[in-house]
């Protein structure tokens, strides 16, 4: 399925201490090394609301707690700069899927955040955006996972690929599908209700959509590597092509 609209520029950069919303129709993706966040932990904590502080404390695993504090603190820094507010005062609401969005009446800034072991990615733009990141690795039962969670068309493509390409194809499919679902504010219940391109010889794209929850103005996809081993997939609504810079 080819989206309508225009080419959208995607700027990929290391995350600064206070990321700023991209201008015009551009999308920015900031990549964070979770072992070396750009802001001290105490400052990130100061950006959180009391409810978010309480949520952080409930994490029993330190790594998960740190991921939440770093991600939410950087996100609030971005939104605070865009709205001219103290980060802790930014009004966030949540979709039924759990995706955070700006409350009604705020400027039309869309954002999404994702992390995996050691890597966090934050994206923002004027269109609906979604992002996912995974560290590529060999999977013991990739074919079984594809058969269970992917569409029939994707499973056929996966089985036809050479064995040496299957790990990359699995993680491309998983990250691209998650990125679209997050952009739409849907849930993983839609995983098999649309098709993405798994063949690594072809550009990433959405080939078909059957789920009403994913309806929109079409979804353009892009992918790149972060820190050499983590594959990142980005979905942007209503663009004909994403140009990653």
pLDDT band of 105, cuts 50, 70, 90 = confident
Domains 7-128 and 132-244 equal at CATH topology level:
yes
- Fold of the domain spanning 7-128: Ribosomal Protein L22; Chain A (3.90.470)
Question: pTM for the whole thing?
Answer: 0.95
How is the chain split into domains, by residue range? 7-128, 132-244
Q: Using CA atoms in the order 214, 219, 222, 227, what is the torsion angle rounded to 10 degrees?
A: -30
Which residue from 82, 166, 71 is spatially nearest to 112, judged by alpha carbons? 71
Which residue from 243, 28, 9, 214 is spatially nearest to 125, judged by alpha carbons? 28
Read off the pLDDT of residues 162-184 as tens digits, 9 standing for 90 and up. Answer: 999 999 999 999 999 999 999 99
pLDDT band of 1, cuts 50, 70, 90 = low
pLDDT at 169: 96
pLDDT at 4: 60
Domain 132-244 matching CATH 3.40.190.290: the answer reads: no
């Amino acid at each position: 399925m080819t989206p309508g609209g225009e080419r959208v520029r995607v700027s990929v950069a290391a995350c600064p201490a206070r990321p700023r919303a991209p201008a015009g129709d551009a999308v920015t993706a900031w990549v964070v090394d979770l072992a070396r966040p750009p802001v001290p932990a105490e400052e990130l904590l100061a950006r959180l609301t009391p409810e978010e502080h309480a949520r952080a404390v409930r994490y029993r695993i330190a790594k998960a707690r740190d991921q939440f504090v770093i991600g939410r603190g950087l996100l609030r820094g971005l939104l605070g700069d865009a709205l001219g507010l103290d980060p802790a005062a930014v009004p966030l609401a949540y979709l039924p899927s759990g995706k955070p969005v700006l409350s009604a009446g705020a400027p039309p800034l869309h954002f999404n955040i994702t992390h995996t072991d050691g890597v966090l990615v934050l994206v923002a733009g004027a269109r609906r955006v979604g992002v996912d990141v995974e560290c590529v690795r060999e999977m013991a039962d990739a074919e079984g996972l594809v058969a269970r969670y992917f569409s029939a068309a994707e499973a056929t493509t996966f089985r036809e690929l050479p064995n040496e390409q299957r790990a990359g194809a699995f993680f491309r499919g998983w990250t691209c599908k998650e990125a679209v679902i997050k952009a739409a504010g849907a849930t993983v219940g839609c995983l098999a209700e649309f098709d993405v391109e798994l063949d690594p010889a072809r550009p990433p794209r959405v080939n078909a959509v059957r789920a009403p929850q994913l309806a929109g103005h079409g979804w353009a996809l892009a992918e790149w590597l972060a820190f050499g081993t983590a594959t990142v997939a980005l979905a942007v609504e209503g663009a004909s092509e994403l140009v990653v810079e």
